[in-house]
Amino acid sequence: MQNKVKTLGELKNAGYTSRSIKDELRENLIKALQAGKDSFTGIHGYEQTVIPELERAILSKHNINLLGLRGQAKTRLARQLTHLLDEWMPIIEGSEINDDPMSPISRFAKNRIDEMGEKTPISWVHRTDRFFEKLATPDVTVADLIGDIDPIKAVNLKLSYADDRVIHFGMIPRANRCIFVINELPDLQARIQVSLFNILEEGDVQIRGFKLRMPLDMQFVFTANPEDYTNRGSIVTPLKDRIGSQILTHYPESLTVAKTITGQEATEKELRSCNISVPELAKDLLEQIGFEARKSEYIDQKSGISARMSITAYENLISTAERRAILQNNSSTTLRFSDFMGVIPAITGKVELVYEGEQEGADFVAHHLISQAAKTLFTTLFPKIEKLEKEEVEGVYDGVLAWFFEEGRFELLDDSTDKDYQKNLFRIQPLDLLIREFQPNTSKQSINFTKELILWALVEYKKLSKERITEGYSFQDLYGNFIKEL
């Protein structure tokens, strides 16, 4: 229709009927649900929680507040609402506020229809252009959102300030018949929030004393972080009362969902200069770091652990292996456990520490999270080592401990070649026996990573000791050296 219909008369003859944006979203959602289509794509872990609530809010024609910690896909959910809009929307050509040709609300549009009638020109707006977004910051003004008097316009049009044609519309009137998102709503000053009251309910727009009855047709979506309620501000009660549905978002509840999100969002493999093989166990460990962080006593849980931490950590992890391959002029390599030291900058920049964490230091906390993740993952693969061990459990790891007692010091260097790395780990034969007994289906690419995981876990259970040396890590028997010296 958008290619053929150019005037108001043609639009009427084509049988076009206007509807509000909330009706538009509702009806298109109903069609999607009836057809069995996903209303929101690329958002994982919300299929049984957030998305059904969001669909109910749209069916109820509510304005929506998405409340959740950082990195919980709130903005992405809001942006995907555009998929539920009609592909094209007609407006009066030249209108600043997307006037509906069938029901204009601005003086400009009404005057143009009075002058040109059926020949009034029509233009079309694609649904991707019907999304407006504003980050709430303390410097946002009423003029930014609602509008202000434009003295330049008054001079050019030779009008007095008493004429409403001198008004310059703000972002909200210009988003008429569109989706308007205000991110981090509590950061918006209370007096600015107050200016939204009538827009949400009555459709009044007041600008510098002008009270314009403009029934703006909008779908409002707000996002808010619970942390902001105590640190920076809050949503004023009357405004909260006018928001139809408040939907709580959350972090992934399983490693599988978390891995799916990270894999989807991380930098594509095609951008890498070499082929990097990533064991599935390494992906599990990476996501487990996030789960450990969300219950760590060193980290402020009210601040949250963004999903972006796992995404950037994964990219750093791959880059660590890539750098090693480049230095060794290799076209391929396999990820190692020691490569996880490369994710520390991605962790320290994404967590807010409490007092105890500040005392220990961000670097210590990052290492602690990696160690705890290794310990947790280890217990899902191998017999857990209790403080008061039973003989049969203790005997499982005797072979590894005896090897270290006899050999003493064992070093894994960061930049050793793949051949030397594998040869070095192959020396510890009891590790192969452990894997063969408890994880016989371990893939070839995961064997060396699993061996390193066992060593790190035994350190955490106080069976081996570990220290960082200049070139890598050194593992040794916890008591062997002391006894030998005696």
The tally of CA atoms less than 13 A away on the side-chain side of residue 379 is 11
Q: What is the reported pLDDT for 319?
A: 93
One domain for residues 196 and 298: no
pLDDT surpassing 70 at residue 134: yes
pLDDT surpassing 90 at residue 484: no
Q: How many CB atoms lie within 10 A of CB 20?
A: 16
One domain for residues 23 and 143: yes
Tell me the residue type at 481. N
Nearest-CA neighbor of 16 among 8, 25, 28, 27? Answer: 8
Nearest-CA neighbor of 6 among 89, 125, 90? Answer: 90
168 forms beta bridges with 148
pTM: 0.86
The token pair that represents 233 in the structure block: 């501000």
CA distance 68 to 184: 10
Q: What is the reported pLDDT for 388?
A: 46
pLDDT digits (tens, 9 = 90+) for 193-208: 887 877 776 666 666 6
Cβ(431)–Cβ(425) below 8 Å: yes
One domain for residues 30 and 138: yes
Q: What is the reported pLDDT for 272?
A: 81
Q: What is the reported pLDDT for 295?
A: 93
pLDDT surpassing 90 at residue 49: yes
The tally of CA atoms less than 13 A away on the side-chain side of residue 316 is 19
Query: What's the average model confidence in pLDDT over 470-484?
Result: 76
Please check whether residue 130 lies inside any domain of the structure: yes
Q: What is the DSSP letter of 121?
A: B
One domain for residues 336 and 358: yes
Q: What is the reported pLDDT for 449?
A: 95
Least confident of 161-165, 221-225, 378-382, 464-468: 161-165
The token pair that represents 453 in the structure block: 């995981």
The token pair that represents 429 in the structure block: 């034969």
Q: Which residue's entry shows tokens 């989706």?
A: 179
Cβ(172)–Cβ(199) below 8 Å: yes
Q: What is the reported pLDDT for 127?
A: 94
pLDDT digits (tens, 9 = 90+) for 260-311: 999 998 876 667 888 999 999 999 999 999 999 999 999 998 888 988 999 9
Least confident of 78-92, 156-170, 291-305, 331-345: 156-170
Between 107 and 440, the higher pLDDT residue:
440
Final residue belonging to a domain, choices 213, 228, 248 = 248
One domain for residues 119 and 244: yes
One domain for residues 168 and 276: no
Please check whether residue 371 lies inside any domain of the structure: yes
One domain for residues 212 and 331: no
Q: What is the reported pLDDT for 271?
A: 72
Please check whether residue 227 lies inside any domain of the structure: yes
Q: What is the reported pLDDT for 232?
A: 54
Query: What's the average model confidence in pLDDT over 416-444?
Result: 93
pLDDT digits (tens, 9 = 90+) for 308-355: 999 999 999 999 999 999 999 999 999 999 999 999 999 998 899 999
Output the domain CATH number for residue 14.
3.40.50.300
Residue 2 — very low, low, confident or very high, per pLDDT cuts 50/70/90?
A: low
Between 131 and 409, the higher pLDDT residue:
131
Least confident of 69-78, 164-173, 424-433, 445-454: 164-173
Please check whether residue 3 lies inside any domain of the structure: no
pLDDT digits (tens, 9 = 90+) for 372-392: 999 999 999 999 887 545 544
CA distance 205 to 106: 12
One domain for residues 449 and 330: no
Final residue belonging to a domain, choices 248, 270, 289 = 248
Output the domain CATH number for residue 342.
1.10.8
One domain for residues 217 and 271: no
Enclosing domain of residue 342: 251-380
Q: What is the reported pLDDT for 229?
A: 56
One domain for residues 255 and 306: yes
SS3 41: coil
Cβ(111)–Cβ(59) below 8 Å: no
CA distance 362 to 345: 10
Please check whether residue 182 lies inside any domain of the structure: yes
Q: What is the reported pLDDT for 374?
A: 95
∠ CA 191-193-86 to the nearest 5 degrees? 150
pLDDT surpassing 90 at residue 192: no
Please check whether residue 1 lies inside any domain of the structure: no
Q: What is the reported pLDDT for 121?
A: 94
One domain for residues 425 and 405: yes
One domain for residues 50 and 163: yes
Q: How far is CA 485 from CA 22, 208, 463, 481, in A?
A: 79, 86, 19, 6
Average pLDDT score, the chain: 87
49-78: b or e for each residue (b if 16 or more CB lie within 10 Å)?
ebbebbbebbeeebbbbbbbbbbbbbbebb
Residue 59 — very low, low, confident or very high, per pLDDT cuts 50/70/90?
A: very high
Q: What is the reported pLDDT for 392?
A: 47
The token pair that represents 289 in the structure block: 């770091």
Final residue belonging to a domain, choices 214, 248, 282 = 248
pLDDT surpassing 90 at residue 363: yes
Q: What is the reported pLDDT for 340?
A: 94
pLDDT surpassing 60 at residue 215: yes
Please check whether residue 226 lies inside any domain of the structure: yes
Domain tally, the chain: 3
Q: What is the reported pLDDT for 391?
A: 47
Query: What's the average model confidence in pLDDT over 215-229?
Result: 84
Q: What is the reported pLDDT for 143?
A: 81
Please check whether residue 181 lies inside any domain of the structure: yes
Could you tell me which residues come within 8 angstroms of residue 466 by beta carbon, excluding any fewer than 6 positions away? Answer: 455, 456, 459, 473, 474, 475
